[in-house]
Structure 1
Amino acid sequence: MQRPNNSRPIITHTNPKSPISETFRTLRTNIDFSSVDEQIRVIMLTSAGPGEGKSTTASNLAVAYAQSDKKVLVIDADLRKPTMHHTFMKTNRWGLSNVVSGQSAPVEVIVETHVHNLFLMPSGPVPPNPSEMLASKRMTAMLEELKESFDVIIIDTPPALAVTDAQVVATKVDGVLIVIDYGKVKREAAMKVKANLQHVNARMLGVVINNVNRKNGEGYYYYYYGNDQSAK
């Protein structure tokens, strides 16, 4: 498929040979090898605050998985300030909020994107109770149902320090990535995000640090927590 001319470019799709694209493929590989006993299929991304590249990272990681012949679904679970429908130039009239509220079935709101193997579930209309919807049993049941149709599910959530939505979703996924803007977010804020997520027993996969000034031009750096390490 051709990318719509007025959509937001996703570098792993538009320039797959770039250093940044290779970094996302490395991130994909590290996630795949971070678990020996079970496959990580549902991955959530969050950040400390807004404007740190969380949604951009989610879309590029999703493309990296799709390029490895995986059937991938991106879910925009930012029910407050959704952006994924802009990235993929799709309507946000129907989406996640419709499914969780019982108004629609997942198959009715999932749309095919311009990237082969990549599908999108937009957020849908902004509801009055985002946290409650994300915490619902219907949300859990929906994810289990979707795992039967997709190899990998990438979930974009709101910033973790702003609202509790990310903590809620973290209890329902296989692993969590925190996106940090280098030089913008202080160590204390990053550590608070990590502590908040660990408080709900979230499985921390690591940190993606973007806007790093590196000689080779890469803009993203992946840092794996390990068992006892802290965020840098």
Structure 2
Amino acid sequence: MTVDTQDSNIADRSIGSILANLRNLSADQVERIVRHQREQSVRFGEAAVALGFASSDDVLFALSQQFHYPYAPEERRSASPELVALNQPFGVQAESLRAIRSQIIMRLFNEGQERRAIAVVSPEAGDGKTFFAANLAVVLAQLGGRTLLVDADLRHPRQHDVFGVENRAGLSGILSGRAEAKVIQQVPGVSSLFVLPVGTTPPNPLELVERPAFGLLIRELLSKFDHVVVDTPAACFGSDSAVIAARCGAALVVARKNEARVEALQDLVANLAETPAQVAGVVFNEF
């Protein structure tokens, strides 16, 4: 697997160099910014914004590159609006996701503990499970470790749409013995984040995740990535999520606040308790 090193090269450059490349600034424009910077005793980014050659968002993007913090530039956000942790990393939702990330790390990744993948499960469709799994993967990747998001929702896969990656080949091909090359794809602009999409939606999703091949795959992925997040089908569609959680070793339950049925949520948590998976907690989605 090859990894694009463009981001690491950008991180070693100055703010001025990154902004000049981002906004295609001419030599004359850069000189005017530098002159304003000296005259007003301000930073290059502030001078560029004051002269109208860059936006505040451009400066935040440039800073994120220098500090190795994935952050989508403005023109890329419309393609993946659900990725709030990447599009708006300083907003309320992103801060909530980082708080959950901290809790997960403290509960599941203590020194000496067996490494686990995290299955994100929910009782009902529409609880925001796919949205949460995608953004959890982003905030884990923002720590700097190699992070993989596996779309194991073999019934209604959406992660390829969320991240804008190809879905011609993926998990279903691996589990059915028809593995194609390059099924794991790097997320553009985030060097530490990767996605394994579903590929072809299979007619036998539960049987595929129940096969030993799925557990073997999870163990192999854990040896290659620092964090593995697994999206699953909602529990209302069958027992896929419980089977996947058991193979992953850990589960995080997502339910929509004021809409989730208490009985369905209790049933899901009870089912997970009968598996080897450690339940890291329950998250109520308010958005």
Q: Normalised by the shorter chain, which TM-score bucket?
A: 0.7 to 0.9
Identical positions, percent: 34
What is the rounded CA distance, in whole Å, between the counterparts of 1:186 and 1:40 in structure 2?
A: 32
Query: Between Structure 1 and Structure 2, whose CA radius of gyration is higher?
Result: 2
Mapping 1:89-108, distance limit 5 Å: 89-104=164-179, 108=182
2:228 paired residue among 150, 153, 169: 153
TM-score by length of 2: 0.70
Tell me how far 1:39 sits from its aligned partner.
5.7
The Cα offsets for residues 75-126 of structure 1, whole Å up to 9 and x where unpaired, read as: 0000010000000111211100001111115x62001112331100001111
Per-residue CA shift, 1:112-165, capped at 9, x if unaligned? Answer: 112331100001111121111101111111111111211000000001132110
Cα distance in 1 for residues equivalent to 2:220 and 2:259: 38
Which is helix-richer, 1 or 2? 2
d(CA) in 1 for partners of 2:81, 2:169? 20
User: Which amino acid in the other structure matches residue 279 of structure 2?
Assistant: M
- TM-score, normalised to structure 1, is 0.86
2:99 to 26, 33, 36: 26
Structure 1 segment 115-126 matched on structure 2, within 5 A:
115-126=190-201
Please state which structure has a larger fraction of its residues in strand.
1
1:111-150 equivalences in 2 (<5 Å): 111-114=185-188, 115-150=190-225
Higher relative contact order (Cα pairs below 8 Å, separated by 6+ residues): 1
Q: For structure 2, list consecutive stretches of 5 or more residues without a partner in the other structure.
A: 1-6, 8-71
Instruction: Describe the shift of the 1:60–1:133 C-alpha distance in structure 2 as closer, same or farther (beyond 3 A).
Output: same
CA RMSD in angstroms comes to 1.7
Q: Which residue of 2 aligns with 1:202?
A: 277
Matched with 2:36 is none
C-alpha displacement of 1:28? 0.9
Runs of 4+ in 1 over 3 A off after TM superposition: 1-5
